[in-house]
Amino acid sequence: MCINLSSKLFVGSMLILCCAQSPPHSNGKQQVLSAVNYEIVDTKQNLLLGRFNPPEGFKRVACDSLSFGYYLQHLPLKPHGSIVKYYDGTEKQEAVYDAVVDMEISKRDLQQCADAVMRLRGEYLFSIGAYSKISFTLTNGFKMDYAEWMKGKRLKVSGNKTWWEQTAQASNTHQDFRNYMEVVFTYAGTLSLSKTLNSKSLKTLQIGDVFIYGGSPGHAVIVVDMAQNKAGEKMFLLAQSYMPAQETQILKNPNNPSISPWYKADFDEVLETPQWTFAINALKGW
């Protein structure tokens, strides 16, 4: 439940590519970030809801402390000015973001766009002990429940067939969860995630919703915060990973720098983000 709050506060065993290929990257310096509005950005704060204040006239939507929305609003951020790192430690050259989520990713090219969305959802459910709700459908339709992984079962793959086999001891540490998610990232993507989420209208937009295009390539971004004014108009923040696998980032709004990184929810036909354009019917929820 959310209320307004003061603004201060598989196809076979093949890996499905989730995003359009990004330009080659190197160890060079990132392009200088464009000017930011310091009435919106508080560079000293390292939680999402502290770093970004809503634009003038808007109040942040407050969510119940056990909700997905609350979890996303309280995402830890790396210090202001941090550069997104790829899985191999090199730096992202495109200045498309205003902040970097402080969450480790493995040294494998796995946590791309839809994977980052599933990671956030899974981390939230793990954090509140809702282990039985951690479940993601693979591209071939296999429902991969974390409850089975906790029992020591592990996924076996042969061509387009998948099944569980008991190969480990029962365990439920955060590392167990991370190992589970790495397998999910290998065999799930935008194609599978878009089929399991529920289409919804912009009028019912809420934190945790996902703009997604299922394809190979496809893309997905997640709404991580929202604000509203007295007229009922909504604005929101977006987070994404991309390809190759990289740290999750809070996206700039390239079309309206004065309120960046906030996006208006009353767009007409398409939602333009720095690295993908989504149709108006691309919004889905859990």
pLDDT at 21: 39
C-alpha to C-alpha distance for 71 and 214, rounded to whole angstroms? 25
pLDDT at 221: 98
State mean pLDDT over 119-147. Answer: 98
pLDDT at 32: 34
C-alpha to C-alpha distance for 281 and 74, rounded to whole angstroms? 28
Q: What is the pTM of this model?
A: 0.88
- Eight-class DSSP state of 199: E
Position 37 confidence tier, pLDDT thresholds 50, 70, 90:
low
Position 268 confidence tier, pLDDT thresholds 50, 70, 90:
confident
Average pLDDT, the chain: 89
State mean pLDDT over 156-184. Answer: 97
Every domain of the chain and the residues it spans: 2-19+40-274
- Alpha-carbon Rg for the chain in angstroms: 19
Count each helix (H run) and each strand (E run) in the chain, helices first: 6, 16
pLDDT at 157: 96
Asked if pLDDT for residue 71 goes beyond 70, the answer is yes
C-alpha to C-alpha distance for 40 and 224, rounded to whole angstroms? 16
**Which residues contact residue 130 at a Cβ distance below 8 angstroms, ignoring those fewer than 6 apart?**
none
The answer to whether 57 and 229 have CB atoms below 8 angstroms apart is: yes
C-alpha to C-alpha distance for 75 and 220, rounded to whole angstroms? 18
Q: Which one has a higher pLDDT value, 37 or 260? A: 260
Instruction: Write the DSSP assignment of 90-148 as a string of letters.
Output: PBP----EEEEB-----SSTT--HHHHHHHHHHHHHHHTT-GGG-EEE-TTS-EEEHHH
Burial of residue 223 (CB within 10 Å: 0-12, 13-18, 19+) is: buried
pLDDT at 96: 98
Asked if pLDDT for residue 25 goes beyond 70, the answer is no
pLDDT at 12: 33
In angstroms, the first-to-last Cα distance of the chain is 15
C-alpha to C-alpha distance for 42 and 220, rounded to whole angstroms? 27
pLDDT at 39: 86
Helix (H, G, I), strand (E, B) or coil at 58: coil
State mean pLDDT over 15-38. Answer: 40
- The percent of residues in the chain predicted with pLDDT above 90, rounded, is 85
C-alpha to C-alpha distance for 215 and 222, rounded to whole angstroms? 17
The answer to whether 188 and 114 have CB atoms below 8 angstroms apart is: yes
Asked if pLDDT for residue 35 goes beyond 50, the answer is no
The answer to whether 188 and 118 have CB atoms below 8 angstroms apart is: yes
